[in-house]
Structure 1
Amino acid sequence: MIIEDVAFPAGVHCETTTLGALLRHEGLELSEPMLFGLGEGLGFVYWDAKYLDFPFLGGRTKPFTITRNAADRLGLELRVQETASPRKAWQNVTAALAAGRPVGLQLDSYHLDHFTTKVHFGGHFAALRGYDDTHAHLVDTAQQGGLVTTTLASLALARGERGPMTARNRSYTVAVPADRPSAADAVREAVRSTARTFLTPPIANLGHSGIDKAARQVVRWLDRSADPAHDLPLAATLMERGGTGGGLFRVLFRDFLVEAAEIADDDVLREGGARYAEIAPLWTEVATLVETAGNTGEQAHLTRASEVLTDLAERERRAMRLLAGEGCSP
Structure 2
Amino acid sequence: MSAQRPAGRSGGAVLDGFRAAPGVHCETTMLGNMLRHAGVDVPEALVFGLGQGIDAQFFPPPPHAPVPPMLTGRVGPGLIAEHACAALGIGLVTLREADDAGAHAQAVAALSAGRVVGVTVDIFHLDYFASRTHFSAHCLALQGLDDSTAYVVDTTQQGGAQQLPLASFVRARASDEGFMPSPRLHWHLDDGPVAPAGSTVDLAPRIWPAVQGAAARFLDRGRGAERGIAALRRAAEELPGWRRLPRGEAVIPEIARFWRFAGTGGTNFRGLYAEFLAEAHALTGDAELLPSLTAFAEIVAAWADLIDHLGGYAGAPDRSAHLKEAAARLHAVADAEEAAFTRLLDLSRDRTGTV
User: 2:188 — aligned with what?
Assistant: 173
User: 2:229 — aligned with what?
Assistant: 208
Structure 1 residue runs of 5 or longer lacking an equivalent are none
The alpha-carbon deviation at position 6 of structure 1 amounts to: 3.2
User: 1:190 — aligned with what?
Assistant: 210
1:43 counterpart = 2:55: yes
**Does the CA contact (< 8 Å) of 1:196 and 1:324 recur in 2?**
yes
2:339 maps to amino acid: R
The alpha-carbon deviation at position 301 of structure 1 amounts to: 3.0
**Does the CA contact (< 8 Å) of 1:22 and 1:104 recur in 2?**
yes
User: 1:237 — aligned with what?
Assistant: 257
- Percent identity, aligned pairs only, is 33
2:139 maps to amino acid: F
Aligned partners of 1:36, 1:233: CA distance in 2, in Å?
28
The alpha-carbon deviation at position 326 of structure 1 amounts to: 6.7
Aligned partners of 2:45, 2:283: CA distance in 1, in Å?
13
The alpha-carbon deviation at position 182 of structure 1 amounts to: 4.2
SS of the residue 1:115 aligns to: coil
The alpha-carbon deviation at position 245 of structure 1 amounts to: 8.3
* Matched length: 326
Flag the 1:74–1:132 CA change in 2: closer, same or farther, 3 A.
same
> How does the TM-score come out when normalised to structure 2?
0.86
Structure 1 counterpart of 2:33, from 1, 17, 21 = 21
The alpha-carbon deviation at position 70 of structure 1 amounts to: 0.4
Aligned partners of 1:215, 1:245: CA distance in 2, in Å?
15
Matches within 5 A, 1:144-159: 144-159=158-173
Matches within 5 A, 1:274-293: 274-293=294-313
Q: CA offsets, 1:107-137, max 9 Å, x none?
A: 1111111112111111100011112321111
User: 2:45 — aligned with what?
Assistant: 33
Matches within 5 A, 1:50-61: 50=62, 51=65, 53-61=67-75
User: 1:98 — aligned with what?
Assistant: 112
The alpha-carbon deviation at position 177 of structure 1 amounts to: 2.0
Flag the 1:52–1:41 CA change in 2: closer, same or farther, 3 A.
farther
Aligned partners of 1:206, 1:219: CA distance in 2, in Å?
20
Aligned partners of 1:245, 1:256: CA distance in 2, in Å?
18
Aligned partners of 2:78, 2:234: CA distance in 1, in Å?
26
> How does the TM-score come out when normalised to structure 1?
0.92
Aligned partners of 2:346, 2:137: CA distance in 1, in Å?
32
Aligned partners of 1:287, 1:52: CA distance in 2, in Å?
22
**Does the CA contact (< 8 Å) of 1:45 and 1:59 recur in 2?**
yes
Q: Which deviates further from its counterpart, 44-53 or 17-26?
A: 44-53
Structure 1 counterpart of 2:90, from 76, 89, 92 = 76
Aligned partners of 1:182, 1:325: CA distance in 2, in Å?
24
1:309 counterpart = 2:321: no
Larger Rg, first or second structure (1 or 2)? 2
Matches within 5 A, 1:109-120: 109-120=123-134
2:227 maps to amino acid: L
Structure 2 residue runs of 5 or longer lacking an equivalent are 1-6, 8-13, 350-355
The alpha-carbon deviation at position 185 of structure 1 amounts to: 2.2
Flag the 1:327–1:242 CA change in 2: closer, same or farther, 3 A.
closer
SS of the residue 1:119 aligns to: coil
2:104 maps to amino acid: W
Aligned partners of 1:270, 1:30: CA distance in 2, in Å?
22
The alpha-carbon deviation at position 99 of structure 1 amounts to: 2.1
Matches within 5 A, 1:221-260: 221-223=242-244, 225-243=245-263, 247-260=267-280
Aligned partners of 1:45, 1:121: CA distance in 2, in Å?
16
Q: CA offsets, 1:198-245, max 9 Å, x none?
A: 11131112211221122221122122x211232112111111111258
User: 2:24 — aligned with what?
Assistant: 12
Flag the 1:15–1:120 CA change in 2: closer, same or farther, 3 A.
same
2:19 maps to amino acid: V
